[in-house]
Amino acid sequence: MRAPLGEFDLIARYFTHAAPRAVLGVGDDCALLDIPAGETLAVSTDMLIEGRHFLPTVDPDALGHKALAVNLSDLAAMGALPLAFTLALALPDADPAWLEPFSAGLLRLASAHAIELVGGDTNRGPRNLCVTVMGTVPRGQALRRAGACVGDDLWVSGTPGDARLALGAMLEEWHIDAPALRTLRPRLERPTPRIALGLALRGMATSAIDISDGLLGDLAHVLRASGVGARVEADAVPASPTLAAQPRERRRQCQLAGGDDYELLFTAPPSMRTDVARAAARAATRVTRIGVIDTSQSLLVVDADGHDVASGFSSFQHFGAP
């Protein structure tokens, strides 16, 4: 039997967890958090809507993970250490068969990052999840978009494109055999926020962004904010084995224009190459140099023969002065 949503004891049961770092957690008008001296607060908010960001059939455990992961990814891209988050939730009903795995997926990722759920709001309505995440970064050390310098290397973490390849297979745009899809799907449904890498890159990266809208589209944000251009070597972008086995055009589409990867795209001076490699090793995260920042005020993506390969990707079409 389903309990009516008005009975908040059900919600309290699923979303209450220990919050030892908060001065005051769930249960008062506000949560209270102490920010360490010398640290700046970093804040980001994301809303996930059923039918737009996820399908009604999604595994609730994976959805709980992803709702928090996409927000943590924003902290990672600033080099911030996660501190706490709030969750506002609209649900058509208070179904334990959904709430239990959803909260399990959410709180498992929270625990992995020692981050606390400090406030929330639950309502009846079309399914909608709004997470606001807070973190801290030493004053002046945040990794912003507006810091890329001419001559900097352009780096990317992981193997971008896997999430888009998985989505295309699930939408039957193309076929991926079942064992390969089982490996790919977690890259779409349970992305890994690159918190460890973001922290390790403090003081090294000159700019950073997370890839949520596609590599070229997000790179365009960095270039615009920094007032510079870039040249990307298409064949340098790393690919997972399944992605590497795809036809070249599909591979490039996924790598360059696919969203939902939540990898970090960042810049650093060439003098920092060894430091960046060591930082990535410390963070146990693969990083690859894929291009260079230049004075061109444009974004050029070239193949091994130097031919421009970017013009086919829509996320890149409208790049230019705002």
Residue reference for tokens 């399914």: 127
Q: Which of 11, 62, 130, 230 binds its own copies (CB under 8 A)?
A: 130
Separation of alpha carbons 257 and 319, rounded Å: 13
- Torsion angle of alpha carbons 95, 96, 100, 103, nearest 10°? 40
Check residue 215 for interaction with its own copies (CB under 8 A).
no
Nearest approach in angstroms of CB 52 to its own copies is: 6
Q: In a 3-state reduction of DSSP, which class is residue 87?
A: strand
Residue from 116, 169, 128, 161 nearest 262 by CA = 161
Please give the helix or strand (H or E) that residue 299 lies within, else none.
Answer: strand 299-302
Phi, psi dihedrals of residue 71, rounded to the nearest 5°: -75, -40
- Is 200 a residue that touches its own copies (CB under 8 A)? no
Binding status of residue 300 toward its own copies by CB under 8 A: no
Q: Which residue has the tokens 């410390």?
A: 282
75 counts as binding its own copies under rule CB under 8 A: yes
> To the nearest whole angstrom, how small is the minimum distance from the Cβ of residue 181 to its own copies?
27
d(CA 254, CA 248): 10
One character per residue 10-49, x = contact with its own copies (rule: CB under 8 A): -------------xx--xxxxxxxxx-x--xxxxxxxx-x
**Type of residue at 288:** T
Shortest reach from residue 225's CB to its own copies, in Å: 8
53 binds its own copies (CB under 8 A): yes
Element (H, E) at 264: strand 264-268
Min dist. Cβ of residue 183 to its own copies (A): 28
Residues 102-121 that bind its own copies (CB under 8 A): 118-121
For its own copies, the closer of residues 78 and 232 by Cβ is: 78
Point out which residues bind its own copies (CB under 8 A): 23-24, 27-35, 37, 40-47, 49, 51-53, 74-75, 77-78, 80, 84, 86-90, 118-121, 123-126, 128, 130, 132, 134-135, 137, 139, 142, 144-146, 208-210, 225
